[in-house]
Amino acid sequence: MLLGRLASVPPLVRYSLGSAVRVVTPVKLTVAVLMLVFALFELLPGLRRLSFDRRWLLLGGFLSGFFGALSGH
């Protein structure tokens, strides 16, 4: 639903790299930010030790599946 709405929004930025014209769309920006956030969880020692109570297990599984599907993994 959310990505469907974001897909209909016009590109945020257009730029040229050599002879190719590139665009930054809201969907691409969303995926890039999510990848950056998850990479920080892997790289920063303080975030690696982060743990949650057992009651959040179902929500964590849902979010993991959602973002995995969103990024194509």
pTM of the full predicted structure?
Answer: 0.61
Q: Where do the structural domains in the chain lie, given as residue ranges?
A: 2-71
Q: Write out pLDDT tens, residues 2-32.
A: 667 777 888 899 999 889 999 998 888 888 8
- Return d(Cα 18, Cα 15) in angstroms, integer: 10
Pairing of strands 20-24, 13-17: antiparallel
Give me the percent of the chain exceeding a pLDDT of 90: 18
Q: Regarding predicted confidence, which is higher, 39 or 67?
A: 39
Q: Regarding predicted confidence, which is higher, 73 or 52?
A: 52
Contact in structure between 12 and 24 (CB atoms under 8 Å) = yes
Mean pLDDT of the chain: 83
